[in-house]
Chain A
Amino acid sequence: MRLEYFQMIDAVTALDAQAKTIAASSVVPAQSPVFEGHFPGHPLVPGVLLTETMAQASGYLILALTGFTHMPFLMAVDKARFRDFVGPGAELEVKAALEHEGSGYAATKAKIVSDGKTICDAQLRFRTMPFPAGLDEQMRAQARRIGLTEAVR
Chain B
Amino acid sequence: MSSTFDTVADIIAETADIPREDVTPESHAIDDLGIDSLAFLDIAFAIDKAFGIKLPLEQWTQEVNEGKAPAEEYFVLKNLVARIDELVAAKS
A and B together in one complex: yes
Contacts A102-B57, A103-B54, A103-B58: A75 and B41 contacting too (C-beta < 8 A)?
A: yes
Residues of B in contact with A, size category: 10 to 19
Is there an interface contact between A100 and B48, defined as CB atoms closer than 8 Å? yes
Residues of A in contact with B, size category: 10 to 19
Best-buried of A104, A107, A125 by chain B (most CB within 10 Å): A104
Question: Is the CB of A105 closer than 8 A to any CB of chain B?
Answer: yes
| Minimum CB distance partner of A107 in chain B | B45
* A-B contact number at CB 8 A: 36
Is there an interface contact between A125 and B49, defined as CB atoms closer than 8 Å? no
Q: Which residues in A have their C-beta under 8 angstroms from that of B48?
A: 100, 102
Q: Which residues in B have their C-beta under 8 angstroms from that of A105?
A: 41, 44-45, 57
Q: Which residues in A have their C-beta under 8 angstroms from that of B56?
A: 103
5 new A-B pairs (CB below 8 Å) besides A102-B41, A103-B55? Answer: A100-B45, A102-B48, A105-B45, A105-B57, A125-B45
Question: Which A residues are closer than 8 A to B by beta carbons?
Answer: 75-76, 100-105, 107, 125, 127
